[in-house]
Chain A
Amino acid sequence: MKHILLIALAAVLVTSAHAGISVTLEPNSIGPGESAQLTVTGDSDAGVELPKIAGLKFTPVGQSSQFQSINGAVSMSVSRLYAVTPLKPGNYTIPVCNSWPVTLHVSNTGTAPARSLPAPQTQNRSGDLAFLTLVTPKKSFYVGELVPVEIRAYFRGDVAASLNGLPVISSDAFTMNKPDDKPRQSRELVGGQPYAVVTWMAALSAVKAGEYSLGLQLPVLVRVQERANSRRGGFFDDSFFEDFFGRTVEKPVTLASEPMAAKVLALPAENRPPDFKGAVGRFDVTAAATPAQVAAGDPLTLRVKITGSGNFDRVASDLLASSGDWKTYKSVARFEPEDNVGFQGTKTIEQAIVPTVAGKREVPGLKFSYFDPDTQQYVTRSTAAIPVEVTPGAVAALAPAPIQNPKSQIQNDLAPNRVEPGSFTRTLRPLLLTPWFLMVNLLAWLSVGATLLGLQRRKRRLRDPKRAQMRQAAAMIKEHLSAMESALHRADTVAFFDAARRALQHQLGALWDVPPETITIADINARLNGDAATLRPVFQLADQVAYSGERMNVVDLTQWQKIVTAQLNRLEKP
């Protein structure tokens, strides 16, 4: 028995939310007068009502049924085929029941040849768990040519998998633009077996001439179930429980398409127009200048539109260069794609131009050259000259002088002068080298250093247990001195001497590193020897007044306060 068992799960990649029906449209881009085939596949033979879409005509062309028996479960799928014929160009979205809507693009210039992609060769892959196909319209490319391709990943219906990235090309002779993050999802029958199909539209471009092997790779995660190691036996020794107790894990797998032999041709050097800049495809060019009437010195916009299909990143046109009649500025280009891969669309190049001389002028016709891979020839398109009425303007007198020599032509390559002088600085000497800045920084660093040092010292002091004890003792002594003062005012002899004794105990306790309350007259006699003469009476009096109730007047107490304070000061000094 295998350790890893593939489990049957509903395909997570396909339109599971719209279970029961899947819709495919082939091709999804056609020209006027052409038809596309719409296939609606469902699990019952109940009729499907197609939507009514203005501009599209649906004609039923057939029906096929498939019966399958998987693990004893018999299922049926019915596919209905319709011919979709457009009545006018445009983009149509076709929703069928609750399935994922499909989009049909109908161009007004005929189907782009590259869009007529052949059907993928899938029959010999029937039975594979998953496979990847690359559908290209041709196997011979020109360097720089942009070729739309379709990438299809097939996952057998009983395989649970998820994408772990986007398809990548496995040849350094080609580049591929990033496929769409949201690929189209559908279901297909391959050799009678249902497959979930994920389809990306992308575009390839060859970068060097030669013969190469073209292939793709797609990282996926396939969910498999590992059989539990413990042997159960008996009642549980059944495949149902093996599946039930097994652990599902995701295994990374890289799908690779079958390598395809591709030939990349170099662009011919013969008859190459001087203004050719690498555009390969089929293009049309138009030009317009607005407004048609301006004052000399006022700008107008020259707008060149290049539409068609091909490598728009190499589409560029030599716009108007400065001359005696025109002052020109740098052009700005923008591209508006008509598809997801940037193969078809319109590139608009705009240039600000300023007439310097009044009168009836003409914006000269412009040229744009490209290589047509179908006819294998260079093509040069030209625009007509555009008439412009230039009236005398107040600024005309300030217009740049007519360019006298060809060398001045390079002025067009320079950004123009500034009209505002900006803010001034007296020197280009960097601040770093100016004495005042260095001094300020030095002082700042010194103060930072000093503060850091101070913080460190404070931190050390706070962490010193001896100092902490001293601080605590000082606080207690202060508290008892305050109590003495208070007792003095009340002429409370007992409280006065009690506070005095405690203050001295705390001072001595901090000095001797012993608990203050444990210090007695005996300790004082033992430790201070002859110096105890002035301390001993305080302790004796404290005991005496506590037991005898003897009272002293304020004058005496004041005298004792001075004695105690003096003793505390003496003890404080090391």
Chain B
Amino acid sequence: MKLRFLILAILMGAATARAVSFDEANRAYAEGRYPDAVRGFESVITEKGYSAPVLFNLANAEFHAGQLGRAILNYERARVLAPRDADVAANLAAARAKAGVTAPPTGRLDLVAAWLSLNAWCWIGALAVLGAGAGLVMMSWRGGVSFAPGAWVAVNLTVVAVAACGLWCRLPELRWAIVTAKESPVFVAPVSVTTPLFKLNEGESVRLRRAHGEFVLVTVADGRDGWVKRNELGKITEL
């Protein structure tokens, strides 16, 4: 019995400690101790994983700590989890404005697809496939094509098509990364002994193409490309 109470007490204590960690980071932020807040939110992520509010708060703290590249990166990550959050979008725009960089170009279809997260499109598509499968099984069981299961299958297949379009539009985002270094030179080859072609500003968005050693071949929004050091970039999503 005593052992049970002990385990319960340890679990409750651990839970409280975790909650305090997030609150403490928020308190550090409120008191203007932004580097402490950044460390606090990062420790929450290390301990519990990612969440849109934690990423958002971390980005806010990084914004004030002068780490605009990392702030933009974490706003983008928060947007992956909460694509329709107006605050995230507003703060991301503010961070880009302060960093003097622009968002990667997006089409109208992309804007529609951005209404849901990549995972949401995945779930919708997967559930619709299962729904269509269930409808087909029902049709098979009934021994013919009747209207109700047929309509059900058609609706689900339409949803699958829509979800596929959403995924198709959002898939390129997987290859976007943000420059987190203050200034990132872009080389013509994956070696740093040459003179840089041009330099990327902190917070700029680049599209990853392929990696070679410690370098990554990237394409900038204006179409220029070159090799950048891997550790000067932050990927929005994990590949």
Contacts and interface: CB of A to CB of B under 8 A. Distances in A.
Nearest to B34: A408
B126 interface: yes
A429 B237 contact: yes
A398 B126 contact: no
Contacts, number: 119
Interface in A36-66: none
Interface in B81-110: 81, 86-88, 90-91, 94, 98
Interface stretch (A5-13, A448-456, A525-533): A448-456
Interface in B135-164: 136-137, 139-140, 143-145
A424 B22 CA distance: 13
B49 A426 contact: yes
A415 B78 CA distance: 14
Interface residues of B, number: 54
Contacts of A33: none
Interface residues of A, number: 43
A428 B237 contact: yes
B126 A414 contact: no
A421 B50 CA distance: 9
A32 B167 CA distance: 65
B174 A430 contact: yes
A401 to B, nearest CB: 4
A397 to B, nearest CB: 10
Contacts of A452: 136
A417 B26 contact: yes
B210 interface: no
Contact of A425 (B32, B50, B236, B239): B50
Given A417-B26, A437-B126, A458 B143 contact: yes
A400 B30 contact: yes
Contacts of B132: 448
A445 B29 CA distance: 49
Contacts of A400: 30-32
B143 to A, nearest CB: 7
Contacts of B51: 421-425
Contacts of B27: 398
Nearest to A419: B26
Given A408-B64, A414-B91, A428 B50 contact: yes
Contact of A429 (B32, B57, B137, B238): B238
Contact of B122 (A403, A411, A437, A458): A437
A74 interface: no
A181 to B, nearest CB: 30
B129 A431 contact: no
B77 interface: yes
Interface in B194-239: 236-239
Contacts of B44: 421
B113 interface: no
Interface in B110-145: 118-119, 122-123, 125-126, 129-130, 132-133, 136-137, 139-140, 143-145
A404 interface: yes
A398 B237 CA distance: 35
Contacts of B2: none
A308 B31 CA distance: 43
Among B44, B118, B236, residue most surrounded by chain A Cβ atoms (within 10 Å): B118
A431 B32 contact: no
Interface in A411-467: 411, 413-415, 417-433, 437, 440-441, 444-445, 447-448, 451-452, 454-455, 458-459, 462
A222 B114 CA distance: 48
B60 A417 contact: yes
Contacts of B187: none
A400 B94 CA distance: 21
Contact of B64 (A411, A415, A421, A458): A411
Nearest to A445: B129
A332 interface: no
B177 interface: no
Contacts of A448: 129, 132-133, 136
Nearest to B30: A400
A269 interface: no
Nearest to B59: A414
B186 interface: no
Interface string B21-55: 01000110111100000000000100011111110
A70 interface: no
B53 A420 contact: yes
B56 A430 contact: no
A422 B41 CA distance: 13
A430 B50 contact: no
Nearest to B93: A413
Contacts of B119: 430-431
Contact of B50 (A415, A417, A427): A427
B224 to A, nearest CB: 27
Which 7 interchain pairs have the tightest Cβ spacing?
A415-B87, A418-B53, A422-B51, A424-B49, A451-B136, A429-B238, A422-B53
Interface of A: 398-401, 403-404, 408, 410-411, 413-415, 417-433, 437, 440-441, 444-445, 447-448, 451-452, 454-455, 458-459, 462
Given A451-B137, A452-B136, 16 more contacts: A398-B27, A398-B30, A415-B87, A417-B29, A417-B57, A418-B57, A425-B49, A426-B49, A426-B50, A428-B50, A429-B239, A430-B118, A430-B119, A430-B122, A451-B140, A455-B139
Interface of B: 22, 26-27, 29-32, 44, 48-54, 56-57, 60, 63-64, 77, 80-81, 86-88, 90-91, 94, 98, 118-119, 122-123, 125-126, 129-130, 132-133, 136-137, 139-140, 143-145, 167, 171, 174, 236-239
14 contacts: A400-B31, A414-B91, A417-B30, A417-B56, A420-B53, A421-B44, A421-B54, A424-B51, A430-B118, A430-B122, A433-B174, A452-B136, A455-B136, A455-B145
